[in-house]
Structure 1
Amino acid sequence: MRNFFQSHWKVIVALLLLILVAVMTLTPENAGAASTLAERMRQHVAAVASEEHNTRKPAQLERAAVYIETTLKKAGYAPSRQEYEAGGQRVRNIEVAVANVAKGKRPECIFIVGAHYDSAQGAPGANDNGSGTAAVLELARLLKTVQPAAGTEVRFVFFVNEEPPFFLGEEMGSMQHAAELKRQGLAVEGALVLETMGYYSDAAGSQKLPPGLDGQYPDTGNFIAFVGTIESSALVRQALAAFQQASDFPAQGLAAPAHTMGVTLSDHSS
């Protein structure tokens, strides 16, 4: 596996750090001192996740999708859609890319930075996953002028239908996306899926851990976690190492069997 997190890929985790710092300011008591990035993040979260948005609330889901597309267009992208039927509704994944691929050629190397933009039933989804959606929007904006290595394409993907009842089913947005990549014969070497980044606490005992991991990781929820399966252990190590080189923000890594509670509970499972 090519090491994506060396050389210019450190830019991704360095910018991720800036976004994490912005996320930490997304509280009413800190709103007055929010940075420009923090304010942009706040606006994204408010626009995407101020109300429940999923196939039970199709108008709200459509508003979230339109906001994402409009924001990407303002950043200079031409978003593409992967549309399909799910839950009796027409839904879509949204995608943009930065690439260094010769005209008429296929990318030799694809890397995905993604997040789901639907919310769970009964919830507006500010943390799950307005925070991840906002982070990918800002990463896409900040990386618009960065040229990847030759033959490489970085895709920023906003997945629909991550939440139940679609999770791990054929109508899950990331499953649809992965199936289309396979149909086209395109291989993805790595993916960074941003999920529930808005939760942060300095209180002892605020971090709950899956069975078997108690005592192996901090019980204070003030860190970012890079999580993957055993098969992705090299990528987890690379991402964690690059992040730690760029930042002293607390970070942990976990590569565990897929059956471990929580390890595959998002779009990276696709």
Structure 2
Amino acid sequence: MNCKTAIAWIAACAVLTLFLLGTVGVSMVRMPGKSHKGPLPPLTPEEQRISERLREHVLMLAGQIGERNLSNYHALQDAAQYVGDRLRECGVKVSEQSELVEGRTVLNLEGVLPGSRVPEEIVIIGAHYDSAPGTPGANDNATGVAALLELARRFCAKRPERTLRFVAFTNEEPPHFQGSTMGSMFYARRCRERGENIVAMLSLETMGCYSDQPRSQQYPAPLDRFYPDTGNFIAFVGNVKSRDLVRRAIGTFRKSARFPSEGVAAPESLPGIGWSDQWSFWQAGYPGIMVTDTAPFRYPHYHQPSDTPDRIDYQRLSRVVAGLETVVAELVGKWGKLGA
């Protein structure tokens, strides 16, 4: 690269950075409501019970079952059985979507509560139950599955206006991540082939790490200019096309939950924005967001053998789940347009 070319490249990068910063300030990070600040209130008795149930799920998935993927196929099967049994215990009708990957059958598990008023409009709450190679996956993603199971338990006796699905996905982790063998890709592609009207998808991903220490939170540039450096919040993350869903979800959360929260609707190319099952739904043209503690941008045990159940903050996770119950109820229960 000659000198003139290098100067032109640097200038182009500077212009792009300035453009991104302006865009971020206007549309990517501006969210309704205000994040909770200050001390957290005491746990309610119900939040304490939620915390205990979340712990039970994580201990089973990441403690007793442990690493669960195609390399540990029996554990992956045991995890699927556990998730399916817990959904059935809620009284939810459960179906299985099977696919053959590397000569072995893998399953997505779907629990359905039919809509009472507009059943053709579908809201999906999803989480992947597999873990990355070499890790028991307590935070990634037993916490997301535990949150999914608790939300299913809390909605099983209700009659949502829109159809509500609780879906546990397989094969989210490498080497399947963002590939044709990713469980949520199978699922989202099938939904599109059937012409289903999915109006919102929430991916529950790596949700159990929180810290009140300054500089405990990292970000990909340029987001580090706009968000706090203390990793004590839950994040609502979407692509630009899902901006309305991000804003709706975090706005509802902030009205009901006294817990720190941040939101962003950014280009998919930004590191971290598409790092879960909502990405598959974007590929199929559906709006989707990720609810997360931001995973490797905060959690030092991400994809490590040390991602064990004792690392999880179950009390703060219970507050997040309680707040998400209100978010889900608003998405499935209020009459009004949803979508990108």
Residue of structure 2 equivalent to 1:79: 94
8 Å CA contact 2:143, 2:206 repeated in 1: yes
Matched, 1:41 2:51: no
Output aligned runs, 1:1-270, within 5 Å: 35-50=48-63, 51-101=66-116, 107-149=119-161, 152-270=162-280
**Matched length:** 235
**Whose relative contact order is higher, 1 or 2, with alpha carbons under 8 Å and at least 6 apart?**
2
SS at the partner of 1:109?
Answer: strand
How high is the TM-score relative to the length of structure 2? 0.67
Moved more, 176-185 or 93-102: 93-102
Moved more, 73-82 or 250-259: 73-82
Cα offset for 1:255?
0.2
Q: Take 1:213 and 1:87, find their aligned partners in 2: how far apart are those partners?
A: 38
**Cα shift readout 1:111-165 (whole Å, capped 9, x = no counterpart):** 100100000010000000000000000000101112112xx20100000000010
SS at the partner of 1:162?
Answer: coil
Cα offset for 1:100?
2.3
Structure 2 counterpart of 1:111, which letter? V
Cα offset for 1:36?
2.0
8 Å CA contact 2:116, 2:159 repeated in 1: no
How high is the TM-score relative to the length of structure 1? 0.83
SS at the partner of 2:180?
Answer: coil
Q: Take 2:208 and 2:197, find their aligned partners in 1: how far apart are those partners?
A: 31
SS at the partner of 2:140?
Answer: helix
Cα offset for 1:248?
2.2
Structure 2 counterpart of 1:109, which letter? E
Which structure is larger by alpha-carbon Rg, 1 or 2? 2
SS at the partner of 1:79?
Answer: strand
Q: Take 1:54 and 1:206, find their aligned partners in 2: how far apart are those partners?
A: 30
Q: Take 2:172 and 2:62, find their aligned partners in 1: how far apart are those partners?
A: 15
Residue of structure 2 equivalent to 1:13: none
State the identity %: 45
Structure 2 counterpart of 1:122, which letter? G
8 Å CA contact 2:68, 2:76 repeated in 1: yes
Structure 2 counterpart of 1:40, which letter? R
Structure 2 counterpart of 1:79, which letter? V
Structure 2 residue runs of 5 or longer lacking an equivalent are 1-39, 281-340
Q: Take 2:68 and 2:250, find their aligned partners in 1: how far apart are those partners?
A: 32
8 Å CA contact 2:92, 2:113 repeated in 1: no
Q: Take 1:107 and 1:38, find their aligned partners in 2: how far apart are those partners?
A: 32
Let me know the Cα RMSD of the aligned residues: 1.8
Q: Take 1:74 and 1:108, find their aligned partners in 2: how far apart are those partners?
A: 26
SS at the partner of 1:194?
Answer: strand
Cα offset for 1:101?
4.7
Q: Take 2:262 and 2:48, find their aligned partners in 1: how far apart are those partners?
A: 26
Moved over 4 A (4+): none
Structure 1 residue runs of 5 or longer lacking an equivalent are 1-20, 26-33
**Cα shift readout 1:218-241 (whole Å, capped 9, x = no counterpart):** 111100000000000000000010
Structure 1 counterpart of 2:185, which letter? M
